[in-house]
């Protein structure tokens, strides 16, 4: 059982470049999330989705975009990368929002130089 799979694990981007962080889950969860984690700052919600075709902004959406064409996949797109987007990105999924267990991927470490 793979759970939540994120690719790539590491990436270095130059300022202004773009990239897509991939996330796929095999648990048939409706809810999926993208977080970023900065040292000493906890997890900040970037975008979330309650099902295929439905996405919504979280706390820190600027500079990012998402799509949810299938239940399994929830890619995060970075356009025009900036040093402020250097962070560890986590994708997560759950059966419901909030009061149920969220399952996390192993993270993508992104550095923008």
Partner 1 sequence: QKEVEQDPGPLSVPEGAIVSLNCTYSNSAFQYFMWYRQYSRKGPELLMYTYSSGNKEDGRFTAQVDKSSKYISLFIRDSQPSDSATYLCAMTDSNYQLIWGAGTKLIIKP
- Contact set with partner 1 (CB under 8 A): 4, 40-45, 58, 90, 92, 96-99, 101-107
Q: Determine contact, residues 47/55, Cβ cutoff 8 Å.
A: yes
Q: Give the nearer residue to partner 1 in terms of CB position, either 14 or 42.
A: 42
Separation between Cα atoms, residue 9 and residue 29, nearest integer Å: 22
Minimum CB separation from partner 1 for residue 60, in Å? 12
Separation between Cα atoms, residue 81 and residue 86, nearest integer Å: 9
Minimum CB separation from partner 1 for residue 25, in Å? 12
The greatest distance separating any two alpha carbons of the chain, rounded to the nearest whole angstrom, comes to: 38
Minimum CB separation from partner 1 for residue 92, in Å? 7
């Amino acid at each position: 059982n793979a759970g939540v799979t994120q690719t790539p694990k590491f990436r270095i981007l130059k300022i202004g470049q773009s990239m897509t962080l991939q996330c796929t889950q095999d648990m048939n969860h409706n809810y999926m999330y993208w977080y970023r984690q900065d040292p000493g700052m906890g997890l900040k919600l970037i975008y979330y989705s309650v099902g295929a075709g439905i996405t919504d902004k979280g706390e820190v959406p600027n500079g990012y975009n998402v799509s949810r064409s299938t239940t399994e996949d929830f890619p995060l797109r970075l356009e025009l990368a900036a040093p402020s987007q250097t962070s560890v990105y986590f994708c997560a999924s759950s059966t419901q929002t909030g009061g149920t267990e969220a399952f996390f991927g192993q993270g993508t470490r992104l550095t923008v130089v």
